[in-house]
Structures are given as structure tokens and as C-alpha cells.
Chains A and B, each alone.
Chain A
Amino acid sequence: MQRIVAKDISKTFHTGLRDAGVLATILFLFSGGYKKKSIDAINSVSFECSPGEVVGLIGRNGCGKSTLLRLISGIYEKDEGSLEINGRAMYINGFGIGLNQRLTMRENIYLVGAILGISRKEIAAKIPEIVEFSGLADFLDTKIFQFSSGMSARLGFSAVTSFVAERRPSIILLDEVFEAGGDAEFQKRAIGKMEDFLKGDATVMLVSHQTNVIRKYCPRTILLEKGRVLADGDTEEVVKKYEGFLASLPTGDI
């Protein structure tokens, strides 16, 4: 049985006056100056992924890579098409997870663990591993507004990956995790941790702007452009197509 079966899925975001408030919206509507805008973030995308498969997802900024992973993980709801997910999916991003700046590192670990449904006992047992992996042992009881952005990224990544491993997901969605903050030494450890995920039976979808990373870990790659699948197949061929596509664009469009 396939782990992910997507058939013609689409997702549109409506932009414009969403945050403007009711009064402003009404005034704009009556003035005639308001034009409803929408962005087709994902447009009739179809693909399948089997157990143990590692699939790369590449494309320019704003082409819909993160949106697609969020649709698969259930963070976003699709507008059209059918999406069949067989197994537990976990989404991990490298941009930070909204840690609370006024809490200490220890308190944030408990908070993230609780949100992910991990019991306090299991969280307590995981803390030494997270502390060691993040390399932030001296800052366990420091509030994270005093952390640098790299330290925050290390903490977020360490906590989420540790808890994700605990839940043994069958689908792992990695959103630019290799671009996670931190120094070169931490990046090396982070890659090691990701390799552990890639070795298992889980289906992995990996978003990255680093084509060398995609080449190294993904036998198959999907190229997205403006929410549509431009290519899906052997990584070497798809990456070459992507590089050719980038080269054909005027400098300002890349």
C-alpha cells in the first residue's frame, strides 16, 4: 500500500484585506478600490510515495514546497482533489517552531513535548538527550530571549527531532531542516540525525534548496513551479532540469 497518494490536489490562499478588520473591509468594498486576490499555491498536484521511499522536493521560493508538506501533514486543508495518507505523518521545519521567548530552555522542552502529546515522564527522560544533542547544557535554565537565533534554532530542532523519533512516524516531512541554524559542528550532527530518519522504513519527503543534499539522499525528486509539478523522476535528471530552468530565467526572477 502506498503511504501517500495525492490526486489533483489544489490549495488557494486568499490575500488582500484579510487582516484589515471588518470596518476597513466594508469601506474598501464600497469605495470599489478593493480587488480580491488569490494565490494558487498548489495547483492540481498528483504523486504517490511508497514505504521507505525518500523523495526530494525542489523549486524556487514560493513555488509551494512548504505548502505541499503542510497539506500532507494536515496543518493545511486542501481545497480540491483527494489526498490519502496511510500512517502517522510528522512535519519538521528548520525555521523554528514558535518557542516561547519568556520561558527557559527546560520549560520550552516541556511545552513542545506536551503539544506533541508526549507525557511529562517521557519528556523528562528525553531532556538529557536533547541537551546533549543541542550542545546547550549550560543554558538549560536560561530564558531563551537571551539565546542567539542559532541557539534557538538548535533547541527547536533538537527537541522536535527527539520527540518525533519517540512517536515513530511512518511519514516524515522535512522542510529545509538542513538549512537549520547553528554552527558547522551542529549542522554535521543535525545531518547525522536526519540520516537516522532516512535509514528507517519511513517515507521521507525532503525540501531543500541545496541540490547536493537532494542528490545525496533522494533517489527521486519532484520539481515544483508556481504550484504545479514541472518534473517528477530520477533526481539527477530533475535537478539538471531545475538548474537549466533557473539558468533560463532573467536574473531578477530567481
Chain B
Amino acid sequence: MRPLFRKIGETVRLGFSLAKTNFKLRNEGNYLGVAWYLLVPLSLFVIILLVRHAAFSDTGIEHYPVYLLIGITGFNFFRQTISLSISAIHTNGGFIKSLNGISLEAFVLSQFIESVFSHAFELALVVGAMAYFGLPIAWVIFYPLVFLTFAPFVLGLSLLFAAGGTYMRDFENVWNIAGQLLFFATPIFYVARPESFAYSANLFNPLFYFLSMARDVMLYRTVPSLWMIATLFGAGIAVLFLGMGVFGKYKGRFSELV
């Protein structure tokens, strides 16, 4: 058991080191640096807000800008983590081919950590919007709990996509299309009313549960139901184990493919 814990410890430590390097590289040579973390979701927020306002004068959603921002930042975290993970192995091919005994999971974990970091920046936008609309900011302290419920699912899916992306470069393009589809299918800028088709379809969408719980605590100041937390966390753990299993099964061949 001790070697397993040591291995996990080494993977997490390397994951943080690589995430720090990735973060530095992402901002390297940028005049606006970390401001891009805020500008990208902010621009999408403004575009949707303007389009929505032009099409419908009344959205019927209380504090719609906050509702929208929670949706955009939550979805951004999910989409970015998967996108970065798909190319995580190819990007580090030089190291994988020439250094032995390294934990390949750490390359995926580092992309996950980097996304968590940028999500924390984006969350500042949500908090700012909450303050502007007079919503009590104190409820944000429950958000990390909601996030932790969702995190295993995203990490598990990242490992699956990283393994797939290493074998087939098409994964990147497939994800670009799937990501767009998911953006419109998930109630990010609209509400899925019960008994509607969108609601029924979203019952199978883990992002729907995550965003619903995030809005419950930050927007509606209610604690999410226990069954929702348990379902999302349980499914997340199952996907995490599946991701670890698939990644572990195929990682032995990664060095031949990069």
C-alpha cells in the first residue's frame, strides 16, 4: 500500500510542477497576461447578454447575468480541461520518449490543475456580478463543495480523452464539435423547464447537475439535495476509476505514438 501512496504523491507533486510551468508558458509573451483568463469568458458573456437582450426583452430568469456567468464559467472549466488533456501526451512527447520512470498521469493532472486555477480566476467575475446585483457573497463558500463533487468526473473524463487523443488525433476535432453541441444542449444561457425536451435530455448530462447545484448555492441560496450530490459524486468516482483504468491499460504504448 505504501508504494501506491508514494506513487500517487509523486504524481500529484509532478502535476503541480507541470501546471505551474504550463501557467507560465500560457502567459509568456502576452501583454495582457492573466487578464485573458477573465477577458475570454467576459466577452462570451457580453455577446450572449446582448443577443439575448435583442431577441427577448424579458428572459424570465431572476438575476440573469449572474445565472449566465455561472453557466459560462462552469462550462469553460469543463471544456478547457478536456481540450488540454487531449493533447497532453503529444505535447510532452520529448520527455516521454527520452526519460524513463515518469508518471504519465501527471501530464493530464497538470492540465486539470491549470484549468482549476483559471476557473478560480473566472470565479472572481461571478463574485463581482453577485456583489453588483446585491446577492450575498457569503454563499460562495459552499461552491468549492459543489466543485469537488464534479471534479472527479472531469478528471476521469480527461484521462479517457488523453488516452484516446494519443491514439487518434481526430479526438481534438471530435471534441471541438461535441463541445459546441454540449454548450447549446446544456442550460447555460436558458432554462430547461421541467417536462420540456431539454430538461429530459439534460437528465443524462452531468454538467446540468453541476451547474444546477452551483446556481442553487450562489444564486438561489439553497443547499443542493443530497441525492443530487451523491449521484454526481458517485458517477464522478466511477468515471475517474474508468479513466484511470483505460489510461493505465494503454499508457505503455504512448511512447511509441509521440
Instruction: Determine whether A250 belongs to the interface, using a CB cutoff of 8 Å to chain B.
Output: no
A residues less than 8 Å from B253 (CB atoms) = 77
A residues less than 8 Å from B170 (CB atoms) = 21-23
B residues less than 8 Å from A70 (CB atoms) = 97, 100, 255
* Segment 89-109 of A: residues with Cβ below 8 Å from B: 89-91, 93, 95-100, 102-103, 107
The reply to whether B94 and A98 contact each other, CB–CB distance below 8 Å, is yes
* Segment 126-153 of A: residues with Cβ below 8 Å from B: none
The reply to whether B10 and A98 contact each other, CB–CB distance below 8 Å, is no
B residues less than 8 Å from A91 (CB atoms) = 98-100
- Complex Cα distance A179/B12, Å? 35
* Nearest Cβ on chain A to B73's Cβ, whole angstroms: 28
B residues less than 8 Å from A103 (CB atoms) = 21, 24-25
Instruction: Determine whether A74 belongs to the interface, using a CB cutoff of 8 Å to chain B.
Output: yes
Main secondary structure of the interface of B (DSSP, over half): helix
The reply to whether A110 and B168 contact each other, CB–CB distance below 8 Å, is no
- Complex Cα distance A155/B88, Å? 24
* Nearest Cβ on chain A to B236's Cβ, whole angstroms: 28
Instruction: Determine whether B118 belongs to the interface, using a CB cutoff of 8 Å to chain A.
Output: no
* Segment 198-244 of B: residues with Cβ below 8 Å from A: none
B residues less than 8 Å from A99 (CB atoms) = 94
Instruction: Determine whether B102 belongs to the interface, using a CB cutoff of 8 Å to chain A.
Output: yes
Q: Which of A55-63, A113-121, A202-210 contacts the other chain? A: A113-121
- Complex Cα distance A58/B25, Å? 40
What is the count of residue pairs linking A and B with beta-carbon distances less than 8 angstroms? Answer: 84
The reply to whether A115 and B100 contact each other, CB–CB distance below 8 Å, is no
- Complex Cα distance A75/B258, Å? 12
Which partner residue on chain A sits nearest B98 by CB separation? A97
Instruction: Determine whether B146 belongs to the interface, using a CB cutoff of 8 Å to chain A.
Output: no
B residues less than 8 Å from A100 (CB atoms) = 21, 25
Give the size of the chain A interface in residues (CB under 8 angstroms).
35
Contact of A114 among B18, B96, B98, B169 (CB under 8 A): B18
Known: A21-B170, A22-B168, A76-B256. A98 touches B100 (CB 8 A): no
Contact of A75 among B10, B100, B169 (CB under 8 A): B100
* Segment 154-173 of B: residues with Cβ below 8 Å from A: 168-170
B residues less than 8 Å from A89 (CB atoms) = 100-101
**A-contact bits for B94-118, CB 8 A (1 contact / 0 none):** 1111111110000000000000000
The reply to whether B21 and A111 contact each other, CB–CB distance below 8 Å, is yes
Contact of B255 among A22, A75, A114 (CB under 8 A): A75
* Nearest Cβ on chain A to B107's Cβ, whole angstroms: 9
Contact of B100 among A13, A18, A90 (CB under 8 A): A90
- Complex Cα distance A110/B95, Å? 14
A residues less than 8 Å from B18 (CB atoms) = 111, 114-115
Instruction: Determine whether B257 belongs to the interface, using a CB cutoff of 8 Å to chain A.
Output: yes
The reply to whether A74 and B100 contact each other, CB–CB distance below 8 Å, is yes
* Nearest Cβ on chain B to A232's Cβ, whole angstroms: 24
Best-surrounded residue of B13, B29, B97, B98 (most CB of chain A within 10 A): B98
Closest CB pairs A-B (n = 3): A98-B94, A114-B17, A73-B100
B: residues with CB less than 8 A from A are 10, 13-14, 17-18, 21, 24-25, 28-29, 92-102, 168-170, 252-253, 255-257
Provide a sorted-by-A list of 20 A–B residue pairs whose CB atoms are within 8 angstroms. A13-B256, A70-B97, A75-B100, A77-B252, A90-B100, A91-B98, A91-B100, A97-B98, A98-B92, A98-B95, A100-B25, A107-B21, A110-B17, A111-B18, A114-B17, A114-B18, A115-B102, A116-B99, A117-B102, A120-B17
17 more A-B residue pairs beyond the given contacts A102-B28, A115-B95, with a C-beta to C-beta distance below 8 A: A13-B256, A70-B97, A70-B255, A74-B101, A75-B99, A75-B100, A76-B256, A91-B99, A100-B25, A102-B29, A103-B25, A115-B14, A115-B99, A116-B101, A117-B10, A117-B101, A160-B99
